[in-house]
Amino acid sequence: MEQAVQTRPRSHIFAVFREALGGSHRDFTEGDIRRAIVVLAIPMILEMIMESLFGVVDMFFVARLGVDSLATVALTESLLVLVFGVALGLSMATTAFVARRIGEKDPEGAAVGAVQSIAVGLLISAIVGTLAILFAPHLLSLMGASDSVIRTGTAYTRILLGGSVTIFMLFLINGVFRGAGDPALAMRVLWLANGINIVLDPCLINGWDRSRA
């Protein structure tokens, strides 16, 4: 009897994890609220871990190119935190708006809010990208970069910050998925993106010929 009581909580926990990682399309406004929170929270936590993994992988492979290259990545990633902050704030607002409309059984309103959020994200990313392309050397200088780092890393900073539209779209689209009650899909998108990043980083950073050696 005691053994049966002990196995029930374990099986219940495993069932919750399977549902969280596999994705659940049920109505979260009904049923056990605690289970719903856990099912939604687990993919979100794993998604945040995946987002922080991009910079770590980049710095691991770039470290082989020298101190200036590594400093460029570190400084640019620090600047990128500001972009992450804006994108994350807009993503959280999008999640809240979409979740409210989904809870009100208004999928059309949720779709309108999602499209408007993406439009705002495109506008902000265009402004951020333009400023980054124009003032990349000045931004590195403000971060304390040496002259050699600025010469080496200006192009990298321009490309990474200039392409911030991809960051905004990643945050916003995943925010829409979370608000619609499908955070597992957003999590799997980050898994796929990190997998591509890990495979292509050594090839694009060290060169295709070196990667074969």
Tell me: the pLDDT tens digits for 97-147?
Answer: 998 898 888 989 999 999 999 999 999 999 999 999 999 999 999 888 888
- With respect to residue 210, please indicate whether it lies within any of the assigned structural domains: no
Which of the residue ranges 41-55, 63-77, 147-161, 180-194 would you say has the lowest mean pLDDT? Answer: 41-55
- With respect to residue 204, please indicate whether it lies within any of the assigned structural domains: no
Residue 103's domain comprises 2-17+31-199
The secondary structure of 141-198 as a DSSP string is HHTT--HHHHHHHHHHHHHHHHTTHHHHHHHHHHHHHHHTT-HHHHHHHHHHHHHHHH
The structure's pTM equals 0.76
Please report the pLDDT score of residue 94 as a whole number: 93
CA distance 94 to 160: 24
CA distance 171 to 124: 13
Q: What is the mean pLDDT of the chain?
A: 81
Which of the residue ranges 35-49, 100-114, 122-136, 194-208 would you say has the lowest mean pLDDT? Answer: 35-49
- With respect to residue 23, please indicate whether it lies within any of the assigned structural domains: no
What is the sign of the dihedral through the CA atoms of 131, 161, 133 and 156? positive
- With respect to residue 148, please indicate whether it lies within any of the assigned structural domains: yes
Which string of b and e fits 32-62 if b means at least 16 CB within 10 Å?
eeebbeebbebbbebbeebbebbbeebeebb
- With respect to residue 107, please indicate whether it lies within any of the assigned structural domains: yes
Q: Backbone phi, then psi, for 105, in 5-degree steps?
A: 60, 40
Pair of tokens at residue 130: 């333009």
- With respect to residue 206, please indicate whether it lies within any of the assigned structural domains: no
Number of domain units in the chain: 1
- With respect to residue 70, please indicate whether it lies within any of the assigned structural domains: yes
Mean pLDDT of 148-172: 89
pLDDT surpassing 70 at residue 88 = yes
- With respect to residue 10, please indicate whether it lies within any of the assigned structural domains: yes
Q: Which residue bears the tokens 């990633």?
A: 77
CA distance 113 to 119: 10
